[in-house]
Amino acid sequence: MTSFDTLMQQARACVDDRRLERVRAWKQENPGALAIGHMPIYTPRPLLEALGCLPVAVFGGGDQVDVIRGDAYFQSYICHIPRSTIELALGGELEPLDGMVFPAICDVIRNLGGMWKLLFPEKWSAYLDLPQNFDRRLGGAFYAGELRRFARELEARGARPLDEVRLRAAIADENARRATIDELDVLRRDEPHRLRASEAYLAVRAGSAMTAAEHTAFLREVLVAARERQTRKLDNVRVVVVGSFCEQPPLDLIITLERAGCDIVADDMQLGMRMIEGAIDAPSAGRDSVDALADAYLDRGAATASRYIGELVKGRALIDRVRAVRAEGVVFAAASFCDPALLDQPMLEAALQREGIAFTTLKYAENTGQFQTIREQAGAFSDSVKLWGGAA
Amino acid sequence: MSQERDNSQKRQKTMIADHFAKLSRAKEEGKKVVYTFVPGNLTELLSAFDVLPVLPEINALQSGMRGRSGRYIAEAEKAGHSEDVCTYVKCDLGMLKGGNVGPTGETLPPPDLLLLSYTGCFTFMKWFELLREEYNCPVVMLQVPYQAEGEITPEMRGYVVDQLRNEVIPALERLTGTTYDEDKLREKMKLSSRAEDDLVAVWESARHRPSPVDGYFGGVYYTGPMFSSFRGSQDAVDYYRELREEVEARISRGEGPTTPDGPMTQEKFRLVVEGPPNWTNFFDFWRMFSREGAVVVASTYTRVGGLYDRGFRHTPENPLESLADYCLGCYTNLNLPRRLDLLEHYVKTYSADGFLINSVKSCNSFSVGQLLLLRELEKRTGVPGGFIESDLVDPRYFGKANIENRVQSYLQMLDARMQRRAS
């Protein structure tokens, strides 16, 4: 059995693989196959896998990149992820990617897709217009059509033709990965000392440039090793972190929250891997697996700021999550200038206040390097919850 | 504006006052009120159901022009809204908390329906989620696909039409208790088309030297009826006919545009502007240009409510398809390459000496990518660009001295360049 520490080192190496060496290696092993990057939050990776492509989650440069050229493309009031992504692209670090997907999350990512078309016209790029209408005949039909268009365009670029059998297999792989991530989350929830949030984060993010099957195998190793490891239970406060679905907090920020006395028992970081809540069902009669992907997004898409809530009650999903993981409080951690998270936050805060659930708020950038203030704030929060409650 | 008003301006003022008076009486007269947004607005459909629209962006910009927005924004921030997000939203929420007194001093009625026309701006969705928390009324969402590949596909059009048929129209039928009458809608569309013809003639008049209109500062007045509550009405037809006649008269007299200080006497610079204006210091901003003899011959902000000068018209033949094309074709629903093409077209068609980007902090839909647009447009046209930053309605982000300094430096550079070319 590989030790837990070794697995974490492997995961860290994957996360730090800025030059996409893994992707380069995969392309060497799969000559002619395409590697397709996708920005947060969500892109249906099984579709890409069924087309013979390697999906690669791109989260910008994090705290590992000095942004020089990227800053020249964005005003000071724009969030950080587009600037570091442009920096990586202009520096050639995203060169192994044959295309990029820009999902509908906010106007920044949307316009970044347009910039891509101007800056890299030779590369395939596409905007994924995720549905905000959740009726299968309306938003579902439109979205399924979008996915088929993607498939046609990628096929024209050398991907394998879309095939029902392969798509079913890719969905099965994705479901297995999703179930394994669920197991990881259950371990975090029930025994957070065995698998810290920062460790689970690394393990999940390690799969950014892996196939679902490869990632599942890795996660299973992590699970086994985490269950076996000898750790000490801590007297921490159980919190849910909300607002970090797109631009990612630096790993050190997550560790800072933990050191400040918080067990992060659920979060929305790198939400794409958990976007579909549960398995993607097999298609019903008369429908195919593209429809099944669309239905999964409509029916089981996680409640997040970039998704219209329709007839649902704002904040209900967060409260349900807090209860389900037996959290004692919520930490709103949003990237600076993140419109979806910051516009959402007052509504979520109001919902928590109505339920008497304690919360605190902080902002970060992916390259934030100073954590003392955050540690003090999170420490004060965890102390206050311990002392005075605010329990769910 | 200090000078004598044109008849069209007086007419517009009366139209707007009448509309707000109707709104103030709406509840007692049993009229239904629908809040919706400017880009992709469905004014003809709403008026076919005889409901009254309220446009929160217009209220916010009016609050900005009347010096109230700073207070409203502060109220919203005190209530927990981030300093990082759109100030239109915060201004609107602050106004609501302060009693929802509209621009004419009359209290605005609460909405009976929130029609979320989700066109070209992510923030719209959050804005109406926030309003939904404040009002106990239904919301109907119209998702308008983004023109990411620079074209309207049959699938996109079909999706919008399907939502209109299956969700928006049934919601309006439930609200009003009346049945959708397509013939009534067709009549509105015919009137829209006539007004749109005249608006395009006004825009295109800027090809003359001197330009008889300012297509940005003056342009926001010209778009008033078209973008707000009057498209599809005889009032709008009359307004645009009168405006066009006034503009044609100015051409025949060789006159320049109206400015805050009276008619512009000498046109020195012809500019294209990208981005919304600042509203808190609108006339100061305008004077920075008009006093230097700079006229804006075309702007993109005045196309957020429709690209009529590129051929679009509301047509009665297939009214829902036409409404769909309208929503899909608004400026902020175009991808960056299409926006660049349009700017290039304006610079060349209107013989601009330069172009200027006013980048507003509040609006990522406009602002993200503008620095790339600046470079690419310079490359394509050989015309120099300028770049300034401000905000829509947050007075804290209008640094008058700094902006004036930048504008003057830019115009001096243009002047030197034009003199070199002339010699």
Give the model confidence (pLDDT) of A273-286 as tens digits.
999 999 999 999 99
Q: Do B155 and A145 touch (CB under 8 A)?
A: yes
Task: Assess A113–B contact: CB distance below 8 Å, yes or no.
Answer: yes
Residue A114: list chain B partners with CB under 8 A. Answer: 148, 335-337, 339, 369
Q: What is the pLDDT of residue A392?
A: 38
* Alpha carbons A363 and B274: distance in angstroms, whole number: 31
With an 8 Å Cβ cutoff, is B148 touching chain A? yes
Look-up of token digits 């926030």: B130
Rounded to an integer, the average pLDDT of A372-390 is 91
The full 3-state SS of B313-349, as one line of letters, equals: CCCCCCHHHHHHHHHHHCHHHECHHHHHHHHHHHHHH
Instruction: Kindly state whether B65 is in contact with chain A, defined as any CB-CB distance less than 8 angstroms.
Output: no
Q: What residues of chain B lie within 8 A of the CB of A105, using their CB?
A: 122
Give me B263's structure tokens.
Answer: 């008619």
Q: Does A112 sit within 8 Å of B369, measured CB to CB?
A: yes
Which chain B residue has its CA at the smallest distance from A305's CA?
A: B126
User: Please, which pLDDT band fits residue A390 given cuts at 50, 70 and 90?
Assistant: low
**CA dihedral of A380, A384, A387, A391, whole degrees rounded to 10:** -140
- Residue A371 pLDDT greater than 90, yes or no: yes
| Minimum-distance CB partner of A111 among B359, B369, B376 | B369
**What spatial distance separates the first Cα and last Cα of chain A, rounded to whole Å?**
39
Give yes or no for a contact between B265 and B377, defined as CB atoms under 8 angstroms apart. Answer: no
- From chain A, the residues in CB contact with B328 under 8 A are none
* Domains identified in chain B and CATH numbers: 7-180 (3.40.50.11890)
Chain B residue numbers with beta carbons less than 8 Å from the beta carbon of A349 are: 80
Query: Touching check for B145 and chain A: CB below 8 Å?
Result: yes
B 123-142 residues inside an 8 A Cβ radius of A: 123, 125-127, 129-130, 132-133, 141
Query: pLDDT tens digits, residue range A81-102?
Result: 999 999 999 999 999 999 999 9
Per the CB < 8 A criterion, the answer to whether A87 and A63 are in contact is no
Give the helix ranges, DSSP H, for A206-309. Answer: 212-228, 251-259, 289-300
Please tell me whether residue A284 adopts helix, strand or coil conformation. Answer: coil
Report the chain B residue with the minimal C-alpha distance to residue A312: B129
Q: What is the CA radius of gyration of chain B?
A: 21
* A353 interfaces chain B, CB cutoff of 8 Å: no
**Beta carbons within 10 angstroms of residue A225's beta carbon:** 19
Q: Are strands A329-335 and A237-242 parallel, antiparallel or unpaired?
A: parallel
Beta-carbon separation of B361 and A338 below 8 A: no
Decide whether A17-164 matches A235-268+304-392 in CATH topology: yes
Q: Does the domain at residues A235-268+304-392 carry the CATH identifier 3.40.50.2300?
A: no
What per-residue confidence (pLDDT) applies to B2? 41
Which residue ranges in chain B fall short of pLDDT 50? 1-2
Confidence of residue A385 (pLDDT cuts 50, 70, 90): very high
Among B123, B125, B143, the residue with its CB nearest the CB of A131 is B143
Nearest Cα of chain A lies from the Cα of B153 at a distance, in angstroms, of: 11
Q: What is the pLDDT of residues B196-248, one digit of tens each?
A: 999 999 999 999 999 999 999 999 999 999 888 899 999 999 999 999 999 99
Amino acid at B224: G
Farthest CA pair distance, chain B: 70
Q: Do A339 and B364 touch (CB under 8 A)?
A: yes
Handedness of CA B319, B320, B325, B330 (dihedral sign): positive
Q: What is the mean pLDDT of residues A160-175?
A: 97
Q: Is the model's pLDDT at A391 over the cut of 50?
A: no
Q: What is the pLDDT of residue B4?
A: 59
Region A350-370: what's the mean pLDDT?
A: 96
* Angle in degrees, 0-180, between the axes of helices A212-228 and A164-190, rounded to the nearest 10: 20
What pLDDT is stored for residue A310 in this prediction? 80
Which of A113, A142, A314 is the closest to B129 by Cβ? A314
| pLDDT tens-place string over residues A288-337 | 999 999 999 999 999 999 999 988 899 999 999 999 999 999 999 999 99
CATH fold, domain A17-164, is Rossmann fold (3.40.50)
Decide: residue A379, CB within 10 A, 0-12 exposed, 13-18 middle, 19+ buried.
middle
Sketch the domain layout of chain A as residue ranges: 17-164, 235-268+304-392
Comparison of pLDDT for B6 and A347, the residue scoring more: A347
Q: DSSP E strands: which ranges in B183-325? A: 258-259, 262-263, 269-274, 294-299
Mean pLDDT of chain A: 96
Query: What is the structure's pLDDT at B161?
Result: 98
**Nearest residue to B339 (alpha-carbon basis) of A259, A276, A115:** A115
